[in-house]
Amino acid sequence: MLSIIIDTIVDLLKIFPFLFFAFVLVEFLEHKMNERTQKWIQKAGAYGPIIGSSLGVIPQCGFSIAATNLYVTRIISLGTLIAIYLSTSDEMLPVFLSKGAPISLLLQILFLKWIIGMGIGILIDFFLRKRKRGEEGLQYELCQHDHCDCKHESIFVSSWKHTINTCFFLFIFTFIINVLFTYYGEDFFSHLFLKGSIFSPFLASFIGLIPSCGASILLTELYLQGLITFPSCIAGLLTGSGSAFLVLCKSNKNKKENLFILFSVYIIGAFIGFLLECLFPFF
């Protein structure tokens, strides 16, 4: 057991500098894009799902939470909100970069999330009636879910906080995976996460709904270690929007609508993963 703990710590120390650099990049984009992003999405109008999905793939901490605030006040449409939920990747990008994953693979995932988010958002707005826009809105700081106050700190301080937070989750998940791998073997994970089954995306999509950055970290880690398939990874990352769902449930008084949004995002992620699993069973 001691050797597993040491190995886990060593693995984290190896990726720590790369993870910190990745978060510096994310924070830089966040500080540059923060106000512009919200202005663009507010002025998007009928093009909301296209703009929202395009901005969602850009690594911005808490963008899905900001979008939730705009939807609660009816500044953006339901299709735009879901497009942003589907395209946002939470902590996936920093973990991918720190692990040295191929850039081509990362771009492929981001492209899929972008095109799926945009397409689904357009369809939703097409079939649903337009909603009224509010004049006054609630105010949520970006990164509120991490309480990091990134907007008022240097990018290095906030990047350090995000790196420590992510390393905490990585240590827990990596340690658990290493323990189970050592004592039970790869077959245990194959059965646990239904690897190779067409039903695996439904489980991954459910994991993605967990309101924490830990969900996207876990899914990314499982995929990079070959414990879940690419379609299952996509299914989970499509539903992973960090703490946005918590903000939605807290701020939007229409509980039925909240359940509808949550269920819709889950079904979309699971179905897309299921479809990819059927079309590309060995991918």
Whether residue 22 is predicted with pLDDT greater than 70 in this model: the reply is no
Look at residue 114 in the predicted model and tell me its pLDDT: 93
| Per-residue burial over 91-121, b = 16 or more CB atoms within 10 Å of its CB, e = otherwise | bbbbbbbbbebeeeeeeebbebbbebbbebb
Measured CA to CA in angstroms, residue 103 lies from 99, 106, 108, 109, 117 at distances of 11, 5, 8, 10, 21
Amino acid at the residue 70: L
Q: Are 49 and 121 in contact (CB under 8 A)?
A: yes
Residue 136: pLDDT over 60: no
Is 148 a residue whose pLDDT tops 60?
no
pTM of the full predicted structure?
A: 0.74
**Per-residue pLDDT tens over the stretch 68-97:** 877 887 788 899 999 999 998 767 777 887
- Given a cut of 90, whether residue 48 has pLDDT beyond it is no
**Number of folded domains that form the chain:** 1
Q: Find which of 73-82, 142-151, 171-180 is predicted with most confidence, using mean pLDDT.
A: 73-82
Over residues 25-40, the pLDDT tens digits come to 666 666 655 566 666 6
Helix axis angle, 213-224 relative to 155-184, nearest 10°? Answer: 50
Here the tokens at position 265 are: 């995002």
pLDDT, position 97: 79
Domain that holds residue 149: 2-279
Q: How confident is the model at residue 146 (pLDDT cuts 50, 70, 90)?
A: very low
CB atoms within 10 A of CB 224: 16
Distance CA 279, CA 235 (A): 14
- Banded model confidence at residue 115, pLDDT cuts 50, 70, 90: very high
Query: How many C-beta neighbours within 10 Å does residue 153 have?
Result: 16
Q: Phi and psi at residue 8, in whole multiples of 5°?
A: -65, -45
| Winning range, highest mean pLDDT, from 177-181, 235-239, 246-250 | 235-239
Q: CA distances (Å), 72 to each of 67, 86, 249, in order?
A: 9, 18, 10
Residue 129's pLDDT band (boundaries 50, 70, 90)?
low
Mean pLDDT of 44-60: 78
Is residue 43 scored above 70 in pLDDT? no
pLDDT in tens, 251-271: 888 889 999 999 999 999 999
pLDDT value of residue 124? 92
Report the mean per-residue pLDDT for the chain: 78
Q: Taking residues 270-283, what's their average pLDDT?
A: 83
For residue 141, pLDDT beyond 50: no
> Is the C-alpha dihedral spanning 67, 69, 71, 76 positive or negative?
negative
Share of the chain above pLDDT 70, in %: 76
Looking at residue 44, what is its pLDDT?
66
Q: What is the pLDDT of residue 91?
A: 73
CA 233/CA 171 separation, integer angstroms: 20
The answer for residues whose C-beta is within 8 angstroms of residue 272's C-beta and 6 or more apart is: 116, 201, 234, 235, 238
pLDDT (mean) for 175-180: 78
